[in-house]
Amino acid sequence: MFGYLKRISTERSSWLLLFVSAICLELTALYFQYGLKLNPCVMCVYERVALFGVAFAGIIGFIAPQFFIFRLLALAVGLWGAIKGLLFSIKHVGYQLHPNPWDQCPMFVQFPETLPLDKWFPALFHPTGLCSEINWTFMSSTMPQWLVFIFGFYTVVLGLILLSQLKKSAVKNRDIFR
41: annotated active-site residue: yes
- The yes-or-no answer on residue 24 being catalytic is no
Per annotation, catalytic residue among 7, 12, 24, 41:
41
As a three-state string, the secondary structure of the chain is CHHHHHHHHCCHHHHHHHHHHHHHHHHHHHHHHHHCCCCCCHHHHHHHHHHHHHHHHHHHHHHCCCCHHHHHHHHHHHHHHHHHHHHHHHHHHHHHHCCECCECCCCCCCCCCCCCHHHHCHHHHCCCCCCCCCCCEECCEEHHHHHHHHHHHHHHHHHHHHHHCCCCCCCCCCCCCC
| Catalytic residue chosen out of the listed positions 7, 24, 48, 174 | 48
Q: Is 131 an active-site residue?
A: yes
**Which residue among the candidates 24, 131, 174, 178 is catalytic per the annotation?**
131
Q: Which residues carry out catalysis?
A: 41, 44, 48, 105, 131
